[in-house]
Amino acid sequence: MSDATATVDSNVSQGIMDRLRTETRPHHDKAERNGFGVMVMEGGLQLSPYVEHLAAWKKILSHLESALRSCDDEIVSQTWHEGLAKEALLHQDLEQLAPDGPVLSDATSESVHAFTDYVDHLTKETPRGLLGVLYVLEGSTMGGSVMKSRIASQLSLTIDEPGLLYYGCYGNKVGLHFKEFRLRMGGAVDGSGSEDLILEAAGRTFELVGDILRAIAGD
Q: Does residue 85 lie in a domain region?
A: yes
Does residue 13 have a pLDDT over 70? no
Total domains in the chain come to 1
Using CA atoms, how far apart are residues 62 and 185, in angstroms rounded to an integer? 20
* Nearest CA-CA partner of 99 in 60, 49, 51: 51
Q: Mean pLDDT over residues 168-195, rounded? A: 95
Determine if residue 163 is left, alpha or beta; phi over 0 gives left, psi from -120 to 50 gives alpha, anything else beta: left
Specify the pLDDT at position 42: 86
- Which phi and psi angles does 155 have, rounded to 5°? -110, 10
Is residue 8 domain-resident? no
Q: Residue 121 pLDDT more than 90?
A: yes
**Considering the domain boundaries, does residue 211 fall inside one?**
yes
Q: Which residue has the higher pLDDT, 57 or 171?
A: 57
Residue type, 165: L
Q: Are 196 and 126 in contact (CB under 8 A)?
A: no
Could you give the percent of the chain with pLDDT greater than 90? Answer: 82
CB 78 within 8 A of CB 181: no
Mean pLDDT of 37-64: 95
Side-chain-facing half-sphere of 38: CA atoms under 13 Å: 10
pLDDT at 14: 82
Residue 165 included in any domain? yes
CA dist 129 and 125 (Å) reads 9
The answer to the question of residue 18 being in a domain is no
- Residues 27-48 have pLDDT tens digits of 998 888 888 888 898 898 999 9
10 band by pLDDT with thresholds 50, 70 and 90: very low
Distance between first and last Cα of the chain? 46
- Say if residue 9's pLDDT is above 80: no
* Residue 26 belongs to some domain of the structure: no
Q: Which residue has the higher pLDDT, 81 or 35?
A: 81
44: left (phi over 0), alpha (psi -120 to 50) or beta: left
Is residue 102 domain-resident? yes
Mean pLDDT computed over every residue of the chain? 92
Question: Residue 199 sits in which domain range?
Answer: 37-217
Assess whether pLDDT exceeds 70 at residue 6.
Answer: no
What's the CATH number where 172 sits? 1.20.910.10
What is the arithmetic mean of pLDDT over 109-136? Answer: 99
Q: Model confidence at 105, in pLDDT bands (50, 70, 90)?
A: very high
Give dist(CA 219, CA 206) in Å, integer: 16
pLDDT of 30 reads 87
Residue 168 lies in a domain: yes
Alpha helices in 71-173 (DSSP H): 74-79, 87-97, 106-125, 130-155
